Structure 1
Amino acid sequence: MVITGDNIEEISWLQGQLASEFEMKNLGGLKYFLGIEVVRSTQGIFLSQRKYVIDLLSEVGLLECKPVDTPIVQNHKLGIYPNQKPTDKGRYQRLVGNLIYLSHTRPDIAYVVSVVSQFMHCPSEEHMETVIWILRYLKSSPGKGLMFYKNDHVRVDSYTDADWAGNISDRKSTSGYFTFVGGNFVTWRSKKQNVVALSSAEAEFCGMAKGLCELLWLKRLLIEIGFDSGLK
């Protein structure tokens, strides 16, 4: 259990109440939780999953592999084709599941993870090769993560983007967004759109709508928890 807040007395009281009902031990400041490493400094807090990446690479025998510089080949043509050679479905789903969890601190793989997740029901050798490529990319930078700085504002910013008919199987577009709160990267998503966009403008507007919904939700959440002062 992780307890956080800015009132030391309230935290101590809560710990006491929990200890009176359950057998608990205070492990001190947060350093490691569910595969996520936490490092504090004078600048802020850094989150990473370095050990998780190393353990994953070791499990699949890629600890000594040759790393690559990008999470996916540019202009890839991943899809479902006739006569594709199937791969181990259980292994594929397990590895993609690991990558989904890893994307909690690695937004740089969000797009490619959303791509390989589309083939969980019928993976081929080509799809597995893409998963291995992602793992080789992680080998090049296992310690990447998220840095949350101590900034003096709570401004909320959002950015969106979309391709057009990028999926070669159903010609649906993929949209993505990411948001900053107080100058810190807090939410991101990459997902195939539900309908086929008839133009690049329509694809962009669909992506903007998703990003705007996330932006409004974040602003409302910040107001509810008392950060309405100075909110932009």
Structure 2
Amino acid sequence: MGELKFFLGVQIKQLEDGTFINQQKYIHGMLKKFGMENSKPMPTPMAMNVKLTLEGEGDSFDSTKYRGTIGSLLYLTASRPDIMYNVCLCARFQKNPKMSHVEAVKQIFRYLKGTMQLGLRYPKFTGVDIMCFVDSDNGGSLIDRKSISGVCTFVEL
């Protein structure tokens, strides 16, 4: 059958020192589907000063279209953990999205346009060191005053 190169929207490249996966073709198709293929690339998935709330700013947006964009982005997080926080933040507003929520999603698309070539590299190795850091913010959510916690894991070869 040969070497696996493409599976469920994930491109797989077998290298001598490991395996590299990304979803460049999927991102390109997603940008085209949502009319963002000619957008200007951005260096970050979301600006630091963006504060999304349930009320949002601007007019209401079609929730079906918004859910479609969020679903596409959630599938993309399989090979792009760098957008996980931003996509999950935007996913909170699927019930009644406003234009400010849509602008945040567009920023993620613009970031993806400039970083399509990124992916995950799984090297061949003999040993591994793992460091984990955990942080929490009790009652810090601007939306519903719920606690937020996060984990950052580093794998060292």
TM-score in same-fold range (> 0.5): yes
The alignment of Structure 1 onto Structure 2 pairs a total of residues equal to 157
Question: SS in structure 2 opposite 1:123?
Answer: coil
Which of the residues 32, 36, 39 maps onto 1:65?
A: 39
CA RMSD of aligned residues (A): 2.0
Q: CA deviation at 1:82?
A: 7.5
- Alpha-carbon contact 2:130-2:154 (below 8 Å) kept: yes
Structure number, greater radius of gyration:
1
Q: Distance in 2 between matches of 1:82 and 1:158?
A: 34
Question: Hey, what does 2:106 align to over in structure 1?
Answer: 132
Matched, 1:141 2:115: yes
Matches within 5 A, 1:81-100: 81=55, 84-100=58-74
Q: CA deviation at 1:56?
A: 0.4
Matched, 1:122 2:96: yes
Q: TM-score, normalised by structure 1?
A: 0.62
Q: Give the share of equivalent positions with the same residue, in percent.
A: 37
Cα distance change on mapping 1:82 and 1:148 into 2, 3 Å: closer
1:130 partner amino acid: A
Q: Distance in 1 between matches of 2:26 and 2:59?
A: 30
User: Which consecutive residues of structure 1, in runs of 5 or more, have no partner in the other structure?
Assistant: 1-26, 185-232
- Alpha-carbon contact 2:5-2:11 (below 8 Å) kept: yes
Q: TM-score, normalised by structure 2?
A: 0.90
Q: CA deviation at 1:84?
A: 4.8
* Deviates most, 170-179 or 109-118: 170-179
More helix by share: 1
2:40 partner amino acid: K
Which of the residues 20, 26, 33 maps onto 1:52?
A: 26
Q: Distance in 2 between matches of 1:82 and 1:160?
A: 30
2:3 partner amino acid: G
Matches within 5 A, 1:71-220: 71-81=45-55, 84-163=58-137, 165-180=139-154, 183=156
